[in-house]
Amino acid sequence: ANFSEQVVESFPSDISTGIYYGWACVGNGDVHKMVLSIGWNPFYKNIKKSVETHIIHTFRDDFYGEILSIVIIGYIRSEKNFSSLEALISAIQEDIEEAKRQLDLPEHLKLKDDKFFHLPEGKTVTH
């Protein structure tokens, strides 16, 4: 799930690029583990900074247009380039496993139930 350019520009300018882990919720759905990439994605030679969320869950349907709420809990590693797509995929898989391990810790697990993720009925969040 990629955030729009407008949302990316609203992120704090001093946040370091790299790979993070945390919790994500689509709409008023369940809260899932996630890995977040903030940066330029050098492998793909992006010219604009992006914020890409990989929710560690298989969804039955697309969720385009839904509100994506995230809480960033921790930092995994800095952004880097890769010599091949296979190396990139391998690193992503390692990042996912690290995120799962970290988010299973009691101090991180308790944040999954934070009221931040539960919008009041009929309410929407605007930028």
Q: Band of the pLDDT at 73, cuts 50, 70, 90?
A: very high
Query: What is the per-residue pLDDT for 103?
Result: 98
Active site includes 79?
no
Q: What is the Cα–Cα distance from 36 to 38, expressed in whole angstroms?
A: 6
Domain count, the chain: 1
DSSP 126: -
Q: What is the mean pLDDT of the chain?
A: 88
DSSP 114: -
Nearest to 71 by CA among 35, 95, 98: 35
Residue 108 is part of which domain span? 5-117
Whether residue 127 is contained in a domain is answered as: no
Whether residue 87 is contained in a domain is answered as: yes
Whether residue 23 is contained in a domain is answered as: yes
Whether residue 104 is contained in a domain is answered as: yes
Task: Please give the share of the chain, as a percent, with pLDDT higher than 70.
Answer: 91
Whether residue 18 is contained in a domain is answered as: yes
CATH number at residue 108: 2.40.30.30
Lowest mean pLDDT, pick from 1-5, 31-35, 88-92: 1-5
Nearest to 109 by CA among 61, 74, 65: 74
pTM above 0.95, yes or no: no
> Which range is most confident: 40-49, 55-64, 92-101?
92-101
Whether residue 124 is contained in a domain is answered as: no
Given a cut of 50, whether residue 35 has pLDDT beyond it is yes
Whether residue 35 is contained in a domain is answered as: yes
Query: What is the per-residue pLDDT for 60?
Result: 85
Q: Mean pLDDT over residues 88-98, rounded?
A: 95
Whether residue 77 is contained in a domain is answered as: yes
Query: What is the per-residue pLDDT for 30?
Result: 92
Given a cut of 60, whether residue 127 has pLDDT beyond it is no
Given a cut of 70, whether residue 65 has pLDDT beyond it is yes
Q: Which of 9, 52, 66, 94 is catalytic?
A: 52
Q: What is the Cα–Cα distance from 82 to 89, expressed in whole angstroms?
A: 10
